[in-house]
Amino acid sequence: MGKVTTLEEIGGLFHDGMTIMVGGFMGTGAPDALVGILVERDIKDITLISSDTALMDTGVGPLVLGRRLKKVIASHIGTNPETGRQMLAGELAVELVPQGTLAERVRAGGAGLGGILTPTGTGTMVADNKQTLTIEGREYLVELPLRADVALLKAHKADKAGNLVYRNSARNFNPLMALAADLVIVQVDEIVETGELDPNIVVTPGVLIDKIICYKESE
Amino acid sequence: MDTKELIARRAAVELHDGDVVNLGIGLPTLIPNYLPAGINIILQSENGYIGLGPVQDTIIPDLVNAGGKPANILPGGSFFDSATSFALIRGGHVDVTILGGLEVDAHGNLANWMVPGKMVPGMGGAMDLVTGARKVIVAMEHTSKNGAPKIVSDCSLPLTARGAVAMIITELAVFRFTPQGLVLEELAPGIELETVTNKTGAAFTVSADLSPMRNIPSDEVLL
């Protein structure tokens, strides 16, 4: 079964109320075309898991601006003022998570772990209502795994088997999210034949990827 | 010399050849400008690489710093995912982090991520950095814009981390946290002890070796 598909063909896979992970850091390494499909198809009440909410017009920014989100789980919302505005107006629930904790929660979700223990956030607001454990004299927060219905990823190249390589700092959360969702869709700059990517440089194994879409940014 | 340059020049003294360093946005990013020739540090960028360098004439696709701005990677650098990036930070593989602060208190607690009632940007990677870096230095102006002390007996703002700060560098003074508490170690040029006492909201002891603020002389600075 071929994994390579088109934006038109994946449009029907989304529905209101989904939990969706989106890769990227301030829009770099975010699958803009896949985010665009959510906007175009008018998907609403999304729970979004993402590093940040980018700028108003980059990465996941348009989902905020278009009021498609019910809840955001992210480490930073400051560069997209619309997120803060909707939060303060009571229109959008925001769960702020330290970025390293967010990465580990996603990793745990994809790795079959029941959670992780981290010292980050102990003694701060982040610890409110969380279980703590003391191990060898140091206090840790119990942080729970995160999974999603869909992960929308961006990679530089895929082969037709779904093996992915990333470019520069666009890797960020993408390889972690590839493990943590029921349906994994990747947007790439280029698709090559299976076997053309050196297995030594593949970062994300193709077995994790369900759908591949090649999308050339207009430059 | 303006306030920021004074603080950045003093902070540069704390960095040693080969240190892996993460610098917060704003003032801390000025610090590498004041490193002397022969001192090479390795900058970690929490969005996923080591070897952060200044942006070049041509913009490199998919390469940004932790502020989302175009950046460069130096020879010897490497890219990795966010879990590896924060494993480097949390696992004690970053020697020093230097970042700004809204408040630091007498217990070494830092508040620098939110002000209740104002727009909340989120902590980003700051909590992991302050918890995990081997040495945490706060480089900030001594008082807020309205003149209120930023070094206080107990932070009133939500904390970034507890008991994590090793050192505070301001345009007036340098303090170090010791098992005995906060110690004033250096005074900036022309600054009297009384001025520091008046503008500091926390109790501190004065080091027996109180000295003028250290600095890297201009003729040794690389740039």
Please give the full DSSP string across B132-168, using - where no structure is assigned: HSSEEEEE--SB-TTS-BSEESS--SPPSBSS---EE
Q: What is the pTM of this model?
A: 0.96
Token representation of residue B126: 């700051």
- In the predicted structure, residue B185 carries a pLDDT above the cut 70: yes
Task: Spell out, as residue ranges, where chain A has pLDDT lower than 70.
Answer: 1, 217-219
Query: Contact B122/A123, CB-based, under 8 Å?
Result: no
DSSP classification of residue A42: T
Res B117: pLDDT: 85
Q: What mean pLDDT do residues B211-215 have?
A: 93
Average of per-residue pLDDT across B89-101: 97
Q: What is the residue extent of each domain of chain B?
A: 3-213
| Per-residue pLDDT band at B44 (split at 50, 70, 90) | very high
Distance (Å, rounded) from C-alpha A46 to C-alpha A34? 14
Distance from first CA to last CA of chain A, Å, rounded? 32
- With an 8 Å Cβ cutoff, the interface of chain B facing chain A consists of 45-49, 60-64, 67-68, 71, 73, 79-83, 85-86, 89-90, 119-128, 131-132, 158-162
Check residue B223 and give its pLDDT.
54
Residues of chain B with C-beta less than 8 angstroms from the C-beta of A104? 83, 86
- The beta-carbon neighbor of B62 closest among A99, A101, A169 is A169
Is B46 designated active site? yes
**pLDDT average, residue stretch B75-98:** 98
Place of tokens 């610090």: B31
Taking CB atoms and an 8 Å limit, are B127 and A124 in contact across chains?
yes
pLDDT of B147 above 70 = yes
Could you tell me the two tokens for A71? 């809840």
Cα(A76)–Cα(A89) distance, rounded to whole angstroms?
18
**Is A103 within 8 Å of B79 when comparing Cβ atoms?**
no
Mean pLDDT of B119-129: 94
Contact A117, A101 (CB under 8 A): no
pLDDT of residue A88: 93
Residues A187 and A152 sit within 8 Å (Cβ to Cβ): yes
Inter-chain contact B162–A122, Cβ cutoff 8 Å? Answer: yes
Cβ of A214: how many Cβ atoms within 10 Å? Answer: 16
Contacts of B158 in chain A (CB under 8 A): 124-125
Identify the burial level of A115 via C-beta atoms within 10 angstroms of its C-beta, where 0-12 means exposed, 13-18 middle and 19 or more buried: middle
Would the CB atoms of A87 and B120 count as touching at under 8 Å?
yes
**Residue B176, both tokens:** 């170090």
Best of B123, B130, B134, B160 to substitute, by most chain A Cβ atoms within 10 angstroms, is: B123
B3-213 to CATH, choices 3.30.365.10, 3.20.20.70, 2.60.15.10, 3.40.1080.10: 3.40.1080.10
B222 pLDDT tier (thresholds 50, 70, 90): low
> Does B123 contact A203 at a Cβ distance shorter than 8 Å?
no
Chain A residues in contact with B162 (beta carbon < 8 A): 122-124
Q: Closest by alpha carbon to A155, among A115, A186, A120, A119? A: A186
Looking at chain A, which residue has its C-alpha nearest residue B87? Answer: A100
Q: What is the pLDDT of residue A219?
A: 42
Measure in Å the smallest separation between the Cα of A25 and chain B Cα atoms.
7
What is the crossing angle of helices A99-111 and B82-90, to 10°?
120
Amino acid residing at A173: F
CATH fold group of domain A4-113+147-214: Glutaconate Coenzyme A-transferase (3.40.1080)
